[in-house]
Amino acid sequence: MLDANALGESTSPYLRQHADNPVHWQQWGPQALQSAHDRDVPILLSIGYSACHWCHVMAHESFEDEATAALMNEHFVCIKVDREERPDLDSVYMNATVAMTGQGGWPMTCFLTPDTEPFYCGTYFPPTPRQAMPSFQQLLTAVADTWSTRRQDVFDASAAVVTELRSQSAGVPAGGRPIDAEALATSVAAICGDEDADFGGFGGAPKFPPGALLEGLLRHYERTGAGEVLGVVRRTASAMARGGIYDQLGGGFARYSVDAEWIVPHFEKMLYDNALLLRFYAHLARIGNDPLARRVASDTAEFLLRDLRTDNGCFASALDADTEGVEGSTYTWTPEQLTETLGFEDGVWAAGLFAVNSAGTFEAGMSVLQLPAEPEDYDRFARVRRTLSDARARRPQPGRDDKVVTAWNALAITALVEAGTGLKQPSWVDAAVECGEQLFASHVESGRVRRASLGSAVGAASGVLEDYACLAVASAALFQATGDAVWIERMSSLLDAATEHFCDPDDVGSWFDTADDAETLVTRPRDPIDGATPSGASTMAEAFLTAAALVDPEFSARYGELAAASLARAALILERAPRSGGHWLAVAEAAVRGPIQVAVSTAPGADLVSAARALVPGGSVVVAGKTDSSVLLMGRPPVDGAETAYVCRGFVCDRPVTSAEDLAFALKR
């Protein structure tokens, strides 16, 4: 019998948060699963993550309570899972929760047979009965009684759920309609039709920042010149940047807004959101030299480097929603606090600028800082921000999840490279290189990827599809920024391993989210829908599309075929649920446009490559170096000794150009 809490040595900060609970929590693994068989009791599976507010609430109310813990320990084998470390388990049991209840979320609470088949699932349960929900103790007692007295009912329920899950596990078939300009126009029109014309964004509350979707729409504008689409993008980008979901002092975005107006965030800040939004805002900043987008991109990059960077040069997963158990207390202000910090005149000015008033926009008269309009006095704005930031830094700070997740760090690498090269910030590129080197040193061994690490300890969880795909895309970005061929070798190794272990052998272009040699679960997860992060499948399509332009012809054709086969799966998603295919849209836009490849044959004293990186549309490939230093530069020398750019679409090239003006014209052609 496992009669002690076993989370203290976990590589997950979330699990370590529960190491002092009186619950005999175990990590998911053979020993815990066997214990359920040996004791003939169900498994109580609790899934959450460190920055989750309601996870903390349920922990305080129930998991820290001795009486509740005694019930859990007596009747169940209790297993804690960090959804960020084990997205495969989260996917399987979230699908079960949604199938049973019609909704999902975290904390997720699932009761399983000893064979890990779910028979009752839910999310948060309160300590006392509330709003037609039983108390958690009532639920524990009822489930234990059902297991003891009506075992067959449990098996019947679990069999029905498993049958439903397995029926949903087939891949998305290739669409009958090709991914072409007409299909993309239809999808974009449907997405724009869902715009919240009053407050920006799509749909109602709660509102999540749709970084990948906005990137896709921006690429559509660049390809078509559709001004109405750019209008949708700019309205949403501005609304988010001016709302409370954006940290007006320190930069970076919270995970979502609880209201439709982007005012009050759920305060946790996730690495993946900020990586995706950095990529988008940096891209938007280059279109019409948008100053708001440029400032947001710069501040978001600095947030990543200042607040999320770990000692080894990678990036932590998240900042908590709570500070010392109170949600958002680090970030909110009253008018009196502003004047105490800034003095009367600046305090009153700041209150008007940041929409802080006595009524408050959050709890207990506190306000989340907004920026409804640009300040007229930027010097004063900068001084006030600096003073308030210094004062806020002296407050208690939210906890940080220092877990390094491969896929999310790779998203940050890609964003920092594209933002750094496009906005001429080489220090961001340097940080991306350092992170990439560390990931390959610690998370990749013999071509296989590990999911996460904490400090010097690499977790046992194997990488999932998104880890391979995102790291391959990041490797391609690093090669384009540095010209170092080692990144091409690393990219190709990842793509080949992913093809071998994740591709459906019976349906090329369809991808499983777990490897063929990974732990066997109730179902083998396969979800091509883009969510808070791009799906592994859509990111594989991006990786192959980019790689096809960077490798030797013998591999290029195969990568191109895999990109096309993967994109074919996007047809149904973009037709039936286009808002759930934001990253698919971005990749498809690049594919329909060519994708564009720019090879810059360098010469001393010139800087045409900087112009290329600032001018190319999203999804383009830019390579610079001496003639024949890469595939794209073979046979493409400088013209008359001048730095020369060759603009190609699908390997069909325009005449070479030697000036930024001619390059801009060639890209717009």
Distance CA 266, CA 268 (A): 6
- Sequence-ordered alpha helix ranges (H) in 150-202: 151-167, 181-193
List Cα–Cα distances, 80 to 6, 21, 85, 377, in angstroms. 10, 11, 11, 51
Burial class of residue 135 in the structure, from the number of CB atoms within 10 Å of its CB (0-12 exposed, 13-18 middle, 19+ buried):
middle
List Cα–Cα distances, 131 to 7, 54, 100, 125, 241, in angstroms. 33, 16, 19, 11, 36
- Mean pLDDT for the chain overall: 95
Residue 142 Ramachandran class (φ > 0 left, ψ -120 to 50 alpha, else beta): alpha
Distance CA 603, CA 640 (A): 10
Q: What is the pLDDT of residue 1?
A: 66
Does residue 325 have a pLDDT over 90? no
DSSP letter string, 88-112: HHHHHHHHHHHHHHS---SSEEEEE
Residue 82 Ramachandran class (φ > 0 left, ψ -120 to 50 alpha, else beta): beta
Residue with tokens 């896709």: 216
CB within 8 A of 610, min separation 6: which ones?
421, 424
Question: Which pLDDT tens digit goes with each residue over 212-226?
Answer: 999 999 999 999 999
- Show the domains of the chain with their CATH numbers: 13-167 (3.40.30.10), 181-321+401-593 (1.50.10.10), 331-395 (no CATH), 596-668 (3.40.30)
Question: Which pLDDT tens digit goes with each residue over 28-74?
Answer: 999 999 999 999 999 999 999 998 889 999 999 999 999 999 999 99
Model pTM score: 0.95
Does residue 277 have a pLDDT over 90? yes
Q: How distant is the alpha carbon of residue 93 from its chain centre?
A: 20
pLDDT band at 650 (very low <50, low <70, confident <90, very high): confident
pLDDT band at 668 (very low <50, low <70, confident <90, very high): confident
Q: How distant is the alpha carbon of residue 71 from its chain centre?
A: 37
Q: What is the pLDDT of residue 41?
A: 97
Question: Which pLDDT tens digit goes with each residue over 521-548?
Answer: 999 999 999 999 999 999 999 999 999 9
Pick from 304, 185, 379: which is nearest to 193 by CA?
185
pLDDT band at 183 (very low <50, low <70, confident <90, very high): very high
Distance CA 562, CA 543 (A): 10
Q: What is the pLDDT of residue 171?
A: 76
Question: Which pLDDT tens digit goes with each residue over 110-149?
Answer: 999 999 999 999 999 999 998 888 999 999 999 999 999 9
Question: Which pLDDT tens digit goes with each residue over 408-448?
Answer: 999 999 999 999 999 999 999 999 999 999 999 999 999 89
Q: What is the pLDDT of residue 590?
A: 97
Pick from 616, 607, 646, 615: which is nearest to 630 by CA?
646
For 190-235, give the secondary structure using H, E and C: HHHHCECCCCCCECCCCECCCHHHHHHHHHHHHHHCCHHHHHHHHH
Q: What is the pLDDT of residue 256?
A: 96
Residue 241 Ramachandran class (φ > 0 left, ψ -120 to 50 alpha, else beta): alpha
Does residue 178 have a pLDDT over 90? no
Q: What is the pLDDT of residue 320?
A: 94
Pick from 110, 112, 132, 129: which is nearest to 121 by CA?
110
pLDDT band at 606 (very low <50, low <70, confident <90, very high): low
Which helix H or strand E contains 56, and what residues bound it? helix 53-58
Q: How distant is the alpha carbon of residue 315 from its chain centre?
A: 13
pLDDT band at 630 (very low <50, low <70, confident <90, very high): confident
**Which tokens go with 22?**
């009186």
Distance CA 57, CA 125 (A): 10
Question: Could you tell me which residues are beta bridge partners of residue 47?
Answer: 81, 108
List Cα–Cα distances, 92 to 309, 344, 520, in angstroms. 31, 56, 11
Q: Which amino acid is at 421?
A: T
Q: Are 608 and 600 in contact (CB under 8 A)?
A: yes
Q: What is the pLDDT of residue 605?
A: 61
**Helix (H/G/I), strand (E/B), else coil: 418:** helix
Taking the CB of residue 98, how many other CB atoms lie within 10 A of it?
A: 14
Pick from 541, 539, 535: which is nearest to 559 by CA?
541
Q: Are 243 and 236 in contact (CB under 8 A)?
A: no
Q: What is the pLDDT of residue 395?
A: 96
b/e map of 44-69 (b: 16 or more CB within 10 Å)?
bbbbbbbbbbebbbbbebbbebeebb
Q: What is the pLDDT of residue 628?
A: 81
* Average of per-residue pLDDT across 593-608: 85
